[in-house]
Structure 1
Amino acid sequence: MAAPIVQQVVDWDDYVGRFEAIQSVEVKPRVTGYLQSVNFRDGQYVQAGQTLFTVDSRPAQAQLDQARAQLARAEATLVNARTELARSQTLAASRAASQEEVEARQAAVRAGQADVNAARAAVRAQQLTVGFTRVTAPISGRVSERLVDVGNSVTADQTVLTTIVSTNPIHFAFEGSEALLLKYQRQKAGAERGTPVRIRLQDESTYAHAGTLDFVDTVIDTGAGTVRARAIVQNPDGFLKPGMFGHMRLAGSDPYRALLIPDTAVVTDAARKVVYVVDKEGKVVARPVDLGPLSGNLRVVRSGLSPNERVVIGGIQRATPGQKVQAKAGRIPAPAAPEARPEAPNYAPPSSIATPVGAAR
């Protein structure tokens, strides 16, 4: 027999989900033409603004030269109109020209200025078109394989050349039950932005990747009775890839004081759970208890047991309520580190596991 261990613990709930890129972009050209070059390696990490593809710029350059010529013509016409206006104003001052002629020259200057402005706008537009023949990365991230080879024709805003996904940080998306969401909201724990999470991959035995809850959807899926949520995880080395499957534990409670006993000390009696304790007279007494999650190899007891009671932890199969026994003092070992489960459901019951506060998970 031994007294329960008293310890501060935190409940963790289990989920499964997949990693998702925070940003994902389809790279498309903004001009129509023939692809001239590819300037990256498939799978390479690229920086925002880096040139990925080049479209043949000669047609766009010819249109730019034409627009510049139109601008030069408009500017020459405007200079001539201003000269004519100055001459008419001089003649009008000596009454050698009419006021109507002056006003006509002024209108010609205004029209010439408008033509210059339009020509300058056309030049800027063509400069943009020439610039768009260089297809650059809109974001920093890992580029996929090229989908179009050099020599093929591409169409502006339609042809997908490749895709880019951001790598750091990365999202972990999962779904939880409506029951868990209600529990979190009533306890004001577990469903708030910034709540800690721990994640392990399929081939890992520990929850080595730390993150925080980033988003909980505002709508419940009426068909499945679940709510979508996601966590944000730092990924500086890019090891975590979008689409990877993972198991996640979300802190489902604030730290609380718990009694811990070996899970093997719990006996099922019909629909209830009981533990055997030895009273002051040395008799075995069955105590109905309300159980919580596992903490390593120990079970959290929420109610029904007091810290100073002596719990039967060995030879339970020989214990009978009301029987007088000669108990031997024993010792409950400290909680072992929680082991990763080989399989996990879409969501676990509330408080699927508990860990001591401050313990490595």
Structure 2
Amino acid sequence: MTRAIVMLACGLTALGLAGCDNKPVASGPPLPVVTVSKPLQERITEWDEYTGRFVAVSTVEVRARVSGFIESMHFKDGQIVKQGDLLFIIDQRPYKLAVDQAQAEVGRTQAKLDIANLDLERATPLVRNQTVTEREFDTRKSTQRDALAAMESAQASLKTAQLNLEWTEVRAPIAGRISDRRVDPGNLITGGQSGATLLTTIVSVDPIHFVFDGSEADFIRYLRLAQTGARQSSRDAANPVAVRLADETDFKHEGKMDFVDNAVNAKSGTIRGRAIFDNKDGLLTPGFFGRMRLYGGDHEALLLPDGAIASDQSNKIVLTVADDGTVGVKRVTIGPLVRGLRVIRTGLDANDRVVIEGLPRARPGQKVKPEEGKIEGAVAQAAPIRPSRAAPATAQ
């Protein structure tokens, strides 16, 4: 009986083991799901953005050319003035006296010249019949020339005195907005070419410049585009620009390029550029901060949403998915936003399937379950302002 029990136990054990072999094998966790899409490929008008400030086309420090007491002031602090407007009057009395004295000196030298001319005229026929010696005739001729020179010198002194009198009226050398007065009437000021007292300053208003710095990489790209004929250099053409102020969201103020510097700054690796804007309403003020966009040319471009672009230290990367679901990494160079999408300059192919959603769930080298998505621009692209090919660059 014991033998039968042992055999039964063995049979049950074998049956149990056979039953275990028929159980299903446990599978791993499901693959993470991500949304992928090929980059949007379109022909775009590219605008490059830069930060800069407005500066006046002309800035003048108003100083007097003659010294004296300020007698009166003829402007209101901060007002708009025209070229030639009267600003200050310096005490004119000593300069009027100098003019009178110079006029008297001209009269005196004119009288001497008249006598010298008469003496020379009388001596001319006499020297022929030897009534007057050659020496006497030469002396009278020399006296006449000396009197003529004295008269010309007196006339020059009179013009100087009249000019000094004119300079007692300090007038606006340019049109623009004037600053506040730095000297009140009644004060003694110093005039002249050096050490002259600063009276006020004037800055021109219309037009106005916008100055910015562009990177060396952008400058090289512009040169390459100019070589291929895709975009004219801003040195040769007035490429269009637009600026928005600190409180604006749209680029409302339109202008054009009018200057690019002749060298790249060795310390900063940037090159200075300048645009010019009409400013008839006077809104654009020297010193205003602004964000400017510059026409960068028309070309075919690959576009991705910013959410599909990650950062790896100082590099920008995107994650791609191969046909077998394996996640890969590509280092890219990015450009500006166009229609709400980021321009991808280098590093990506038009047929790459890029992870556009679920980026945190994708790991390089691992497999994912890709689902096809679609990339669409967030906003409509504004009609580009294209530069005129016929018009030459503005020279300022």
- In structure 2, relative to structure 1, the CA distance for the partners of 1:136 and 1:313 (3 Å cut) is same
Match of 1:45 in 2: 80
Provide, for residues 57-91 of structure 1, a one-character-per-residue CA deviation record: whole Å limited to 9, x for no partner: 11111111111111111111111122222333344
Is it true that 1:129 corresponds to 2:164 in the alignment? Answer: yes
User: Where do 1:249-268 residues align within 5 Å?
Assistant: 249-251=293-295, 253-264=296-307
Question: Equivalents in 1 of 2:312, 2:139: separation in Å?
Answer: 108
- In structure 2, relative to structure 1, the CA distance for the partners of 1:269 and 1:41 (3 Å cut) is closer
Question: Equivalents in 1 of 2:256, 2:48: separation in Å?
Answer: 14
Which residue of the other structure, out of 179, 189, 198, is the alignment partner of 2:242? 198
3-state SS of 1:224 partner:
coil
The structure having more radius of gyration, on CA atoms, is 2
Q: CA deviation at 1:215?
A: 2.5
Letter in 1 for 2:338: S
Question: Equivalents in 1 of 2:190, 2:168: separation in Å?
Answer: 12
Is it true that 1:222 corresponds to 2:266 in the alignment? Answer: yes
Letter in 2 for 1:154: I
Is it true that 1:99 corresponds to 2:134 in the alignment? Answer: yes
8 Å contact kept, 1:200–1:248: yes
3-state SS of 1:43 partner:
coil
Letter in 2 for 1:358: P
Is it true that 1:184 corresponds to 2:222 in the alignment? Answer: yes
Q: CA deviation at 1:164?
A: 0.8
Letter in 1 for 2:384: G
Q: Percent of counterpart pairs with the same letter?
A: 39
Over the residues paired in the alignment, what is the CA RMSD in angstroms? 3.5
Match of 2:42 in 1: 7
3-state SS of 1:86 partner:
helix
Match of 2:319 in 1: 274
Provide, for residues 109-157 of structure 1, a one-character-per-residue CA deviation record: whole Å limited to 9, x for no partner: 1111111111111111111111111111111111111111111111113
Is it true that 1:236 corresponds to 2:280 in the alignment? Answer: yes
Is it true that 1:170 corresponds to 2:208 in the alignment? Answer: yes
Is it true that 1:31 corresponds to 2:73 in the alignment? Answer: no
Q: CA deviation at 1:180?
A: 3.0
- In structure 2, relative to structure 1, the CA distance for the partners of 1:284 and 1:196 (3 Å cut) is farther
8 Å contact kept, 1:8–1:357: no
Provide, for residues 204-223 of structure 1, a one-character-per-residue CA deviation record: whole Å limited to 9, x for no partner: 11121222233232333333
Provide, for residues 182-228 of structure 1, a one-character-per-residue CA deviation record: whole Å limited to 9, x for no partner: 33334445863323322111111112122223323233333333333
Match of 1:247 in 2: 291
Question: Equivalents in 2 of 1:268, 1:159: separation in Å?
Answer: 57
Letter in 1 for 2:242: R
Question: Equivalents in 1 of 2:106, 2:143: separation in Å?
Answer: 17
Question: Equivalents in 2 of 1:224, 1:291: separation in Å?
Answer: 21
- In structure 2, relative to structure 1, the CA distance for the partners of 1:117 and 1:257 (3 Å cut) is same
8 Å contact kept, 2:54–2:287: yes
Q: CA deviation at 1:28?
A: 0.6
- In structure 2, relative to structure 1, the CA distance for the partners of 1:98 and 1:259 (3 Å cut) is closer
Question: Equivalents in 2 of 1:324, 1:229: separation in Å?
Answer: 46
Match of 2:153 in 1: 118
- In structure 2, relative to structure 1, the CA distance for the partners of 1:86 and 1:286 (3 Å cut) is same
- In structure 2, relative to structure 1, the CA distance for the partners of 1:68 and 1:331 (3 Å cut) is same
- In structure 2, relative to structure 1, the CA distance for the partners of 1:220 and 1:69 (3 Å cut) is same
Question: Under a length normalisation based on structure 1, what TM-score does the superposition of the two structures give?
Answer: 0.78
Letter in 2 for 1:178: E
Is it true that 1:358 corresponds to 2:396 in the alignment? Answer: no
- In structure 2, relative to structure 1, the CA distance for the partners of 1:145 and 1:322 (3 Å cut) is closer
Greater Cα offset, 89-98 or 43-52: 89-98
Question: Equivalents in 1 of 2:367, 2:383: separation in Å?
Answer: 35
Question: Unpaired runs of 5+ in structure 1?
Answer: 338-354
Question: Equivalents in 2 of 1:14, 1:104: separation in Å?
Answer: 81
Question: Unpaired runs of 5+ in structure 2?
Answer: 1-35, 387-396
Question: Equivalents in 1 of 2:43, 2:385: separation in Å?
Answer: 10
3-state SS of 1:218 partner:
coil
8 Å contact kept, 2:88–2:170: yes
Match of 2:393 in 1: none
Question: Equivalents in 1 of 2:60, 2:49: separation in Å?
Answer: 31
Match of 2:26 in 1: none
Greater Cα offset, 123-132 or 227-236: 227-236
8 Å contact kept, 1:265–1:275: no
3-state SS of 2:122 partner:
helix
Question: Under a length normalisation based on structure 2, what TM-score does the superposition of the two structures give?
Answer: 0.72
Letter in 1 for 2:213: E
Q: CA deviation at 1:171?
A: 1.4
Q: CA deviation at 1:29?
A: 0.5
8 Å contact kept, 2:321–2:355: yes
- In structure 2, relative to structure 1, the CA distance for the partners of 1:267 and 1:50 (3 Å cut) is closer
- In structure 2, relative to structure 1, the CA distance for the partners of 1:118 and 1:315 (3 Å cut) is closer
Letter in 2 for 1:166: S
